[in-house]
Amino acid sequence: MLRSLRFAALLGGLILSASALAADIDAASYGYPLTNPFEATIATTPPDLRPELPLIEDINQADHSLTLRPEREFILPDNFWPVKSLTYRMATQDKPAPLIFLIAGTGARFDSSINEYLKRLYYKAGYHVVQLSSPTSFDFMSAASRFATPGISKEDAEDMYRVMQAVRAQNPKLPVTEYYLTGYSLGGLDAAFVAHLDETRRSFNFKKVLLLNPPVNLYTSITNLDKLVQTEVKGINSTTTFYELVLNKLTRYFQQKGYIDLNDALLYDFQQSKQHLSNEQMAMLIGTSFRFSAADIAFTSDLINRRGLIIPPKFPITESTSLTPFLKRALQCDFDCYLTEQVIPMWRARTDGGSLLQLVDQVSLYALKDYLHDSPKISVMHNADDVILGPGDLGFLRKTFGDRLTVYPLGGHCGNLNYRVNSDAMLEFFRG
């Protein structure tokens, strides 16, 4: 019975062009077991429902470096030496094959867990795979971003496009038959803008582009995530921090198991135990992770541009300098603060820009509405319960993409990307 349900769900995920309407997968046939979007976001898919993928040692891959902003050698402190060049990871087949670029989500490096999963998935299917860091990651900001102030989607896409061109130039003998592009979360939004840019630059002529759980209105998404940090969590007071609460739960969990096993199934198994996190605690965990990403972005952008908002402009930073005080200051600046203090002033100075609402329109999928509506090679896979979506977002996607949109009923934010049904649908999209 379970096998037949999965087969029905797979068919529902694959029939993307049967009508002008989005493919809405019903929960009964989908079979994804986590109905709580916070839990799905954190724990993702139970291991036995994931696809079988090759081991890392069975993949022909290597890390490579690009020097794209040599002037940063003289701007960044000495202890930033690891990110003065940009690292990417490439997995190659032993014969001519299509190449797929993977763009990571907010603040994530090329080797993020989702990028690693997607690499294994597409490598097994016969693709060359290039893993790229998000334009919002500290390494990309330091080594590849012209203005080191990510958030202007068009400019982030131009920086990403130069990285992709440099990757191809660095591997001239790699036999590539055609190019594909995908990205998850913010990387999905980046992929849309990169695809649009390629329509005029024509360096890759991407055959197909897949956006996985992208923000529609970027400001709505970051506001949703920022609010999670403000969640009131039972058990947290002036003497017990959120991190201590979670650590105590994990300690009791391992004591009950009798051993410590930090494997891929830890979070799912932990959430099935008596020590599981409550909705409020899971919301706080997701929001806190996002806040650390925001802090990294605000800190790195301020440091490179010497704006003096977090680090005094002439403050000497060496390998022995403690960055803790600056991290604490950066953590007080959420994404709204980063936009207000760093992105908008730069945007206005460079483009004679106007209000926040104008900026929001320019950096969201709204800006590409006509292109996305008319481009048959671009599709979206999203979740109805994704925590980054706001009112009207799914409606925009339905109207813009029509039958090129697949909406899954469950999965939270990217939690079901490693579910077999989703994996098969992703592969089928690029094969079709």
Q: What is the pLDDT of residue 12?
A: 42
With a CB cutoff of 8 Å and minimum separation 6, the contacts of 301 are 141, 148, 149, 150, 307, 338, 342
Report helix, strand or coil for 80.
helix
Pair 44, 32: CB distance under 8 Å: no
CB atoms within 10 A of CB 222: 22
Q: Which residues of the chain have pLDDT under 50?
A: 1-19, 233, 236, 242-243, 254, 259-263, 265
Q: What is the pLDDT of residue 82?
A: 64
In angstroms, the CA 168 to CA 343 distance is 30
Report helix, strand or coil for 17.
coil
Report helix, strand or coil for 333.
coil
Q: What is the pLDDT of residue 260?
A: 43
CB atoms within 10 A of CB 249: 18
Q: What is the pLDDT of residue 14?
A: 41
Domain boundaries along the sequence of the chain: 21-216+355-429, 223-341
Q: What is the pLDDT of residue 73?
A: 76
Report helix, strand or coil for 76.
coil
Query: pTM of the full predicted structure?
Result: 0.86
Q: What is the pLDDT of residue 232?
A: 56
Crossing angle for the helix pair 356-363 and 344-351, to the nearest 10 degrees: 90
* Residue (of 191, 238, 225, 193) closest to 211 by Cα position: 191
Q: Which amino acid is at 2?
A: L
Q: What is the pLDDT of residue 108?
A: 92
In angstroms, the CA 275 to CA 247 distance is 11
Alpha carbons within 13 angstroms on the beta-carbon side of residue 60 total 8
In angstroms, the CA 73 to CA 70 distance is 6
In angstroms, the CA 379 to CA 372 distance is 9
In angstroms, the CA 253 to CA 60 distance is 38
Q: Which CATH architecture has domain 21-216+355-429?
A: 3-Layer(aba) Sandwich (3.40)
Q: What is the pLDDT of residue 10?
A: 40
Q: What is the pLDDT of residue 237?
A: 52
